Homo-oligomer: A and B are copies of this chain.
Amino acid sequence: MAAAWWSPHAAQVVIEVAATAAFALSGVLAAARKRMDAVGVATVAGVTAFGGGTLRDVLLDRRPFFWVEHPEYLWMVLAISVASMLFLRGQHFRLTERAMQWPDALGLGLFAASGTQVALAASMPGLVAMLMGVVTAVFGGVLRDIVCNEVPAAFQDHRPYALCAGAGAATVVGMTTFGATSLWAWGLGAVMATGLRLLALAFNWQLKPWRHDAGGTGDV
């Protein structure tokens, strides 16, 4: 049992639980900011946690979904929503967001790497597999922002997020092309995405803005 804890599979499950919880919590906070009711909070939490992988599976025509095979994750997201509404107060929000950065970055790496491998296993070309890895990691948050009637933060906050996922996905595709084992490709891809994200947060990297001065109705 102790040994199993250190197997790659067990590590993946631990990261998966932590990352899903972090994604769900970011949905809870976004819904709270929009003053949603209990139904909205739980729905947005679920959309954020499962939206990316579900969209990937719809595009790849792949069933069953992760949360159909493992309904215990649905219960977890439900529990997180209820617990948040019972115990979380406004003054905890900023703290919660900081505490979520680590599991969120882990999830970014994990979902980007495993999403890419799922697409490669479905015989997708390399660029499409990368895209699917990024969709898996990022579109939960994108759907969260669409449901909350906001421009998706992943497209507007000028901090590298999808790009880190893309670098991880490219690592997986590259290593697979050059014959690396599935486990190595997955591990290095995830480390690449998570590492870049943590570096981006630590050093406050910004995407260079596009100097177009087009006026427009930016929400910044």
Q: 14 A-B contacts, Cβ less than 8 Å apart? A: A31-B155, A35-B209, A35-B219, A37-B157, A37-B207, A38-B207, A40-B151, A40-B152, A41-B210, A68-B125, A74-B127, A90-B214, A93-B212, A147-B152
Minimum Cβ distance to chain B for residue A58 (Å): 6
**Which residues on B sit within 8 Å (CB–CB) of A54?**
59
CB contact under 8 A between A85 and B210, given known A63-B61, A68-B128: yes
Interface bits A51-80 vs B (CB < 8 Å: 1, else 0): 000100011010101011001001100000
Name the one of B71, B90, B125 contacting A125, with C-beta atoms under 8 angstroms.
B71
Interface size class of A (residues with CB under 8 A): 35 or more
A199 interface contact, C-beta 8 A: no
Complex Cα distance, B63 from A125, in Å, reads: 14
- A99 interface residue (CB < 8 Å to B): no
- Bound together, the chains give a CA A32 to CA B97 distance in angstroms of 28
**Alpha-carbon distance A74/B161, docked complex (angstroms):** 20
Is the Cβ of A216 less than 8 Å from the Cβ of B68? no
Copy number in the complex reads: 3
A214-B32 in contact given A58-B58, A147-B146 (Cβ < 8 Å): yes
Residue contact A213 to B61, C-beta cutoff 8 Å? no
Q: In the complex, what residues of B have CB within 8 A of residue A74's CB?
A: 127-128, 131
Q: Mark A193-219, 1 if CB is under 8 A from B, else 0.
A: 000000000000001111111111111
